[in-house]
Amino acid sequence: MRTQPLGVDMLTPEQYEVLASCANIWRHNVFWSLMALQQKLFSLPNAPVSEKEVLDLAGRYAELFRQYYGPNTARRIGSAAERYYRLYLSYLEEICLKSGKEPCPAEDDWVESARGIARELSTLNDFWREREWRAMLIHQIDILASEAKSTAAGDYSQTPLNYDVLDGICTEMGNYMALGLIRQFEI
């Protein structure tokens, strides 16, 4: 594993475990967000399965945060994440109804939810900056929204690029989260 981009020469096994946990949760986030998008927009019969997986991500975040910050913080993060994912699914519903051609008010609510999560995360850890979290979360929203709109309109030309960008974003978010935890808890 390349650790130099993380600002460290070598990870301890404990640090690697934190990094792997954070990377996994963000990869699941991107994977299930894209699955839900595709299944919803193509009206596939297994769309409810991927929608449930998207909503279940809130519990995964809560569990990760419980390990470091305790049950109260885990509940707050889980609740904020659940709201975020419900707004994402509402956004997908709106896109389906509008075929990607009209503005979707749910997108504004989804973005505001991301801003709230960025604020909350920045209060938990001195190594996490609200501006950084907000930029990463909103960048992810922008790419998912772009993919949803173009897919709804039948334009798949940007899909491979969007997938690559989302992969990069989830890597950044996983690394940023892990480094903050490693530094704060001196892992």
Task: Read off the pLDDT of residues 96-135 as tens digits, 9 standing for 90 and up.
Answer: 887 656 778 899 999 999 999 999 999 999 999 999 999 9
Query: What is the average per-residue pLDDT within 42-70?
Result: 97
The model's pTM: 0.91
Measured CA to CA in angstroms, residue 168 lies from 69, 87, 103, 110, 161 at distances of 27, 23, 27, 21, 11
Instruction: Provide φ and ψ at 11, rounded to 5°.
Output: -95, 145
Residue 82 CB partners (closer than 8 Å, separation 6+): 55, 58
To the nearest whole number, what is the mean pLDDT of the chain? 93
Residue type, 77: I
